[in-house]
Structure 1
Amino acid sequence: MQTRTLGSTGPAVSALGLGAMGMSGAYGATDRAESIATVHAALEAGVTLIDTGDFYGMGHNELLLAEVLRGRDRDSYQLSVKFGQLRGPGHEFGGQDGRPEAVKNLLAYSLTRLDTDHIDIYRPARLDPAVPIEETVGAIKEMIDAGYVRHIGLSEVDAATIRRAHAVHPVADLQIEYSLLSRAVEAEILPTLRELGIGLTAYGVLGRGLISGHWSAGHSAGPGDFRAFSPRFSSENVEHNLALVEALRRVAEAKGCTVAQLAFAWVAAQGEDIVALVGARTRERLAEALPAMELNLTADDLAEIEKAVPPGAARGDRYPSAFMSGLGVGN
């Protein structure tokens, strides 16, 4: 497994990280034993970066990871944890809490659930509009000074917020959706990150399975699956978007790889400062993604990919309208 460094101040991590959200119900029912086996398989394959959130399954995800990681050398992997997203007992979302006292409180719970003495990268899941980012980042800085956190990360914020946060304490990376279907970061955010020496951790590389090569127009999201409410999967948009996937499939077949591998390789090819997350819930999907990091894309390959899926070609927002206002960029 190749490694990449998150920005000029962040840790060296595997070029492909594991996003664990899907193991805690975001995409419907999960198999606990398979989830555990998948995390073990990722670690054995050299994946060191594991991304989670304290609100994934209301703590379920952190407890699951603690079970898997218990007994492993703590220096052999890095934990990236998002915090502050409020949830209700019915699993509804209730905004973001970025108050300094909340930062410390939520960190204490995460450290306990994960059964660890430190978090490698701690980041607010979204910007709290009621709290200056300087206060939120300042509280994380205090936790770094106290030894509970190693690095500060951000998630889904705009360029101005990145600058303000970085002025308080160096930011290791920004986690944001980046894929062939979601390229808004290229206009302002990615240049800002590179100017400041901040890495980018890309999630949603497969568009939540839409460009995995395994989704079909007749497929429907099951109970508890976020995709049932995703505009890009809606009946009026999905066939258009899947036509893009078929164009991409032709490029992948000519390259001798799968659509998913091509999508991951494309993100990896956008810069050595970018780390892609694979949201695999099974060993089969993980095994498919891993070879993508060894796939070399030529200038001609990249041109063919751009022709198959031009910037802005996707139809539908990447989140339901209620969530779009909290994002640093749109699509």
Structure 2
Amino acid sequence: MTAHDLGVRHLCRGILTLPLGLHCDVPTDHTFPGGSAGASRFLAGFHRAVEQGATFFDTADSYGCGHSERVLGQFARQNPDLALQLSSKVGQIRGSAEHPYAGRHIHHQLEQTLENLYAEELHLYTLDSFDFGPGDRYLGNAIDAMRTLREVKAIRAIGMRGPFTHYAASAGEWAAQAERFLYLFRLIKPDVVWTRFNAFTPAVSLEGQDLFAFTARHGVGLVLAAPLAHGVLVGKGAESPSSRAPVPPRRAGLVPWFRDRVDEQLHILRLRFGDAPGTLTRLALRSCLQRGDQCVVVAGFSSAEQVVENFSCLGDPLTELELGIVDDVYAALRAQVRETASRMPVKELQP
């Protein structure tokens, strides 16, 4: 594996962007401490990201039932001179339609998304579900709708979800997801694949290749979300200076036994790479960024300070040896997920 710098990358047709962007899953008004006033923290995060050079902002109509899009749109209205590259998704919200992909529902949702985002076009619009109705009844309609939107330049690129199930799924469940993905991929012919990817994501075989080699061979871009596994990969050891930050909610929800096993593996990385603030963040982000030149990573955040850390900690590329060490530790984490899966409910293993 060769080193990849942090210059502009070609994600797909019409999208040249810096490789680290923002995943904008903003809580709804009623779940956000402080209500609408609390959203100011996320607006501050958007400002910090732009200051750090971010251009790619990823959201979805289902995030907070449109609230995330509206907060990002508020930012766009306040900063009309910024050339933001906006990505959103469709397929989770049905509304009054028979199905999220039925009839003109995709067109209607895009109209609302563009209004929410204060935008005239989307750079990337992703089909956010593998569910196309009984017998894939609405698959053809969804494909036609997305291609029409691209032709009329309402969107620049068509995206689809990558193969994914819960982290503790069996090899057979992951293989079934891969088979379903391949079937849909051949029909949809996307420009980009959007997928969750981090240390807990097992490799899936796609025509004998992993997702990175497969998409590169087909000339398709990759957007990698949840690179920090919702904060789990940041660690919580008391000896870490960065551990003064609150434990992320997803991490706090892990059962103590499994959380301790995660910390044991992350301690190996601390011993090898040091314990300075941002070290574990750098390793998690770099292990995604260096998977391929067609990859763009979108990292979530809960504060402007976290945004600054994510963008400022990247440093030099990891060497082949360093990547191997990180990969070995992450492989051990995946093995522990499989081991723990036999002991407790899957819902308690979702980083």
Q: Bin the TM-score by the shorter chain.
A: 0.7 to 0.9
Higher Cα Rg, which structure? 2
| Equivalent residue for 1:137, pick from 127, 140, 143 | 143
Q: Distance in 1 between matches of 2:322 and 2:31?
A: 32
Q: CA separation of 1:80/1:248 partners in 2, compared to 1, >3 Å: closer, same or farther? A: same
Alignment correspondent of 2:226:
204
Q: TM-score, structure 1 length as denominator?
A: 0.80
Structure 2 counterparts to residues 3-22 of structure 1, below 5 A: 3-7=8-12, 9-22=13-26
Structure 2 counterparts to residues 1-331 of structure 1, below 5 A: 2-7=7-12, 9-24=13-28, 29=33, 31-73=38-80, 76-86=83-93, 97-130=100-133, 131=136, 133-157=139-163, 170-185=189-204, 188-214=210-236, 233-253=254-274, 258-310=279-331, 312-315=334-337
Identity of paired residues, percent? 21
Task: Decide whether the 8 Å contact of 1:159 with 1:189 is kept in 2.
Answer: no
Greater shift in the superposed pair: 290-299 or 251-260: 251-260
SS state at 2:322 partner: helix
Alignment correspondent of 1:327:
none
Q: Distance in 2 between matches of 1:197 and 1:160?
A: 20
Residues 74-101 of structure 1, C-alpha deviations (whole Å, 9 max, x = no match):
771111101221389xxxxxx9722342
Q: CA separation of 1:84/1:55 partners in 2, compared to 1, >3 Å: closer, same or farther? A: same
Q: Distance in 2 between matches of 1:270 and 1:18?
A: 18
Q: Residue type of the partner of 1:251?
A: R
Q: TM-score, structure 2 length as denominator?
A: 0.76
SS state at 2:191 partner: strand
Residues 249-280 of structure 1, C-alpha deviations (whole Å, 9 max, x = no match):
22331899611111101111111111111101
Greater shift in the superposed pair: 140-149 or 152-161: 152-161
Q: CA separation of 1:165/1:307 partners in 2, compared to 1, >3 Å: closer, same or farther? A: closer
Q: Distance in 1 between matches of 2:143 and 2:81?
A: 25
SS state at 1:5 partner: strand
SS state at 1:302 partner: helix
Q: Distance in 2 between matches of 1:56 and 1:26?
A: 13
Task: Decide whether the 8 Å contact of 2:127 with 2:160 is kept in 1.
Answer: yes
Q: Distance in 1 between matches of 2:247 and 2:149?
A: 40
* Offset at residue 238 of structure 1 (A): 2.0
Q: CA separation of 1:178/1:99 partners in 2, compared to 1, >3 Å: closer, same or farther? A: same
Q: Residue type of the partner of 2:22?
A: L
Q: CA RMSD in A?
A: 3.5
Q: Distance in 2 between matches of 1:259 and 1:28?
A: 27
Greater shift in the superposed pair: 177-186 or 114-123: 177-186
* Offset at residue 214 of structure 1 (A): 4.3
Task: Decide whether the 8 Å contact of 2:279 with 2:313 is kept in 1.
Answer: no
Residues 207-255 of structure 1, C-alpha deviations (whole Å, 9 max, x = no match):
11000134889x9989xx66677xxx23442222222222222233189
SS state at 2:229 partner: coil
Aligned residues: 310
Q: Distance in 2 between matches of 1:205 and 1:121?
A: 19
* Offset at residue 304 of structure 1 (A): 1.9
* Offset at residue 57 of structure 1 (A): 0.8
